[in-house]
Every structure is written in C-alpha cells, then in structure tokens.
Structure 1
Amino acid sequence: MLFMKGTPQEPRCGFSKQIVELLNEHKIVFSSFDIFSDEEIRQGLKTYSSWPTYPQFYVSGELIGGLDIVKELAQSGELEKICPKAKNLDDRLKMLTHKATVMLFLKGNKQMAKCGFSRQILEILNSTGIDFETFDILEDEEVRQGLKSYSNWPTYPQLYVKGELVGGLDIVKELKECGELSNVLKGEN
C-alpha cells in the first residue's frame, strides 16, 4: 500500500511520482491512497508510523519507508523479494472478476459514477440491496482494454457474478424488468 500525494495516474509531487515509477518499473502490485483526500489520515498516519513525510510504502501492513528506502531496496534486489509481483494480465483479470461475488467494472466507483451508463447501473444495483464491489476502469488502462478481450464484451459497464460476465446496462435493465436481477446477483440463475 502506497500512501502518496495524488494518485498513481496523477501524482501531485515529485517524490510520489518517482516511487510510482519505481514500483511500476519493478512490476510491483500495489494499491494507493491519496493523502490529500483525508486530512485526518494524512496527519494520523505520520503519528502512527513515526514517519513525518510522504510517500509512505507499506507491505503486509508494515512500513517499509519512503522513496529513498524503496530506491535502496530496488538497487539491492530486495524489493522484489518483499513485494508481490504483477501477475500476467489474464490472471489479473480473473482475480479481479472474482474479487467479490458481484463485481462491477465501470467508469467511476460506488460513490461517484463518471458516465451516464455507469450511474444508471449503480442506481439499479443499489436498489437491490445486494452487496457488490466496483473497479474504476479509468484508473487502469491495461484492465480497461484487457477486460474487453477477456470478456468479449466491448463496452462498459460490465457486471460479473462469481467471475462470470452477466453483461452491461441493457442486460441488467432487462433482468430487472423481468424480475430476475436479484436471483442472478445471488448466483441462483
């Protein structure tokens, strides 16, 4: 986990940009948190970690350090030993589609859709009361393009149940209209 200024796609400081480039160069799988999005976390993490600056890089919940330490680990070859490596794309897509029983790939996230189709499908899924997870395809171009081939479905949003493609907005609307959506989401059809 990388606590950074900005996002991997849009770092908001040079140190954050460098650490993202280094992790990507070494094909390290990581998640990130934009410390500018939550001042309480931004300040609290400094105390929690006894580390006063950002970025902060964690592996398995333990602080590894900032940019300088990650650079040293990369140069010594230790970085690859302590961090998970990126899987090939098909393995990664399979893992993502199975991340939750109901998984929605869309433009945006559960809290904020970034297109009309994504907004509509979120409204429909939220109305069912069934738990689901989301993946913002705008955050990862490799997943965005790869999932189209993987699923043989050229558009977004894409809805998966137990790793199997259900379809996009039109299919979900049809399932809702015929009263089958809840059963499909529960994996009963």
Structure 2
Amino acid sequence: MLDGIRVAQDVGFDAIKINTVVKRGVNDDDVLAIAEHFRGTPVTVRFIEFMDVGTTNGWNLDQVVPSAEIIERISAVHPLEPLRPAYRGETANRWRYVDGAGEVGAISSVTEPFCGSCTRARISADGKLFTCLFASRGHDLRALLRDGCTDAELEAALAGIWNARDDRYSELRTADTPTERIEMSYIGG
C-alpha cells in the first residue's frame, strides 16, 4: 500500500488522504502509531469515528472513540493546533503539527454531527438520490431520466429534493436509534 502511495505522489498528486475508522477495543490503541507513521510525509490521515453505517456492521455507541480523544492522544506526544476548514462543508476537522510535520484530520459524525452544514448527496448505482448517508430511502432519478425529463426539469427536481430535505440522523442519533437505513456501501460510502 505504501508503494502505491509513493507512486501516486510521484505522478503528480499534491495531497494524499488516508481514512481510518477507529473502533474502541479493536484499533484505538494504534492511533498514535498510525499518526506517527505518516507524520512528516505528504499523507494526511483522517481518523473517522466508528459510525452506524447501515445495519450490518454491529454498531454500538460504546465502541465509538470520540475524535476529541483521538486528537488528545496524538497532541500529548506531538502537539497539534487546529486549522480552519479548507472549504465550506468540509466534513473533517483538521489539525497541524505545531512543528510543521504535516497534519491530521478527524471526522466526528457521532460526537459532533454536521448535518446543518452538510453539502453532500449520493446517487446509487440504480439511480436513487440519497441526501444523507443514513437515509432509509432514496429519490428515484432514474425514472425521471427514463421518462425523458429535460435538464431544467431534472435541475428543478434536484433543487426541490435538496431544499425539502430534513435529514438530521446524526444530530438525533442515540443508542436506541431505529436501525432502518441504507447500507453505506450501497451508496458509495
């Protein structure tokens, strides 16, 4: 895998990001080692809180390692300072090493939901638009296209879906949250 990263860098990629999901009792003891492995390289590791991304991953709130804890662990050895978002709607909070040895990120969708500033939608392989990773259903765009809608009609339908969305799953999540939702792998994570 590292050889693949070096090759990607050699062919002109400016920034390389690696995402790693952190799950208590599974790999949370490796957080510092992972950060140190990529410290001083052009690779930004983004630590993701273990999420309930469907119903098949056996999610339990007790297995979530809060991003704040992850950043504290790294910063205790290699001091970090927060960075501003690189763009509106960025899902990862970013920190840079105070000594300039790179940066790390954290996606805190469980402990610090960002539903209100979310700018993401996904389209499944069968043409359904999902306005949230945790949606229980999608909106059928394929039918619109097959019925011959114009670009303007498609644009109006997309705007209507987006403007009417009320997705707040991550903000409302609790240990007792209903489990009926799409599998993240179905919509491309």
TM > 0.5 fold call: no
Shorter-chain TM band: under 0.3
Structure number having the greater helix percentage = 1
